[in-house]
Amino acid sequence: MKEAVIHAGPKVEIRDSPIPKPKPGQVIIKVIVSGSNPKDWKIPEWMPDAPALNQGDDIAGTIYAVGDGVTEFRQGDRVAAFHEMLTPNGSYGEYAVAWAHTTFFLPEKTSYEEGAAIPLAALTAAVGLYASDCLDMPQPWSPASKPTPLVIYGGSSAVGTYAIQLAKKSNIHPLICVAGRAQEHVEKLIDRSKGDTIVDYRKGDDAVVQGIKDALKGLELEYAYDAVSEKNSYQNISRVLNQSSGKIKLVLPPKGDWAAKFEDIPAGIQQGTTNVGAVHKDLKDLGFVYSRYFTRGLEEGWFRGQPQEVVPCGLGGIQAALEKLKDGTASAVKYVFRISDTEGAGSAQ
């Protein structure tokens, strides 16, 4: 099979590799569409001494084989899945490995392109909002019963998009979403009738802080989800959060060090970094439940994928897409790749 591995740069190398075999608890998916994420170019730069790897983690396709103990899925099922990060056989290949508990059914009305835009970012949002280590917000099936302001910094990002949808299902309002040129996308997600609003970061840091304060309308800010974690995002949030009991969850660690803390966040504010990889470790139950909840949300219509842009040439288009992610060209879009568009795909299985 054809498989793409990512080097620092980013530089993409397409190789011929054997079709993987499932371990107990795993599924093999024939990849129809793969999604991309900023981490796909960042990790090779953060870990320059590690072997080059297929960094794709967003899978959409059909079940090809199942490992021992897998009873939920059968060959041919339409699914999406979150591949375990930093392990072989990711989504940048004709076949990929996923654990069954982070694999979920795609309704017939949901395209593979939309499915490939969901897994990693949506689970990141779920971990960030609901894990007990920091924000620990009300679950959608036990929604908030009183006004609970939440700042979502980077509302038009993939993680921000899913955080907004899940928070709404948890009746968390007002949602104060910080965004820039993609505000039209955010506007379609929020509920103005419940006080939700958008603050434009392009007006400068002081304007962002004042905009958040104005949106609170006298309420205390206890919760913030920073889906940017750079360019003064958490500094601005920290100026408004309750200085003795506020909580902020960030999607990136300082300087790539997941064990470190942001030293310029006031000591009275509880901070945490979202480690979506925990759904394959300590947060397996959360990963299992929310993966299946995404299927329900897609079926019922309250949950949908980040807008997608299909990049031509399949695996051959990955480098151009990662370059756009690196230089900041992307806005409110998920770059996805149809594997069948790859030169030589399917010629030797």
Exposure class string for 322-333: b at 16+ Cβ within 10 A, else e: bebbbeeebebb
Average pLDDT, the chain: 96
Give yes or no for residue 53 having a pLDDT over 90. yes
DSSP state of 311: P
DSSP state of 93: B
| Structure tokens given for 44 | 């090779």
Give yes or no for residue 348 having a pLDDT over 70. no
> According to the model, what pLDDT value does residue 347 have?
64
**What pLDDT, in 10s, does the model give residues 67-119?**
999 999 999 999 999 999 999 999 999 999 999 999 999 999 999 999 999 99
- Sequence ranges of the domains in the chain: 2-122+284-341, 135-273
Average pLDDT (122-150) is 96
DSSP state of 282: T
More confident residue, 315 or 259: 315
HSE-up of 166 (CA within 13 Å, CB side)?
A: 28
Question: How would CATH label the architecture of 2-122+284-341?
Answer: Alpha-Beta Complex (3.90)
Determine contact, residues 340/59, Cβ cutoff 8 Å: no
> According to the model, what pLDDT value does residue 316 have?
97
Question: How would CATH label the architecture of 135-273?
Answer: 3-Layer(aba) Sandwich (3.40)
Phi-psi region of 256 (alpha: psi -120 to 50; beta: other; left: phi over 0): left
Helices (H), the chain: 39-46, 112-116, 119-130, 158-169, 183-187, 205-216, 233-238, 284-300, 318-327
Confidence of residue 151 (pLDDT cuts 50, 70, 90): very high
> According to the model, what pLDDT value does residue 343 have?
93
> According to the model, what pLDDT value does residue 83 have?
98
> According to the model, what pLDDT value does residue 328 have?
84
Average pLDDT (40-64) is 95
Helix axes 119-130, 284-300, angle to 10 degrees: 120
Same CATH topology for 2-122+284-341 and 135-273: the answer is: no
Confidence of residue 303 (pLDDT cuts 50, 70, 90): very high
DSSP state of 107: P
Predicted TM-score (pTM) of the model is 0.96
Q: How big is the CA angle at 182 (ends 269 and 80), to the nearest 5 degrees?
A: 80
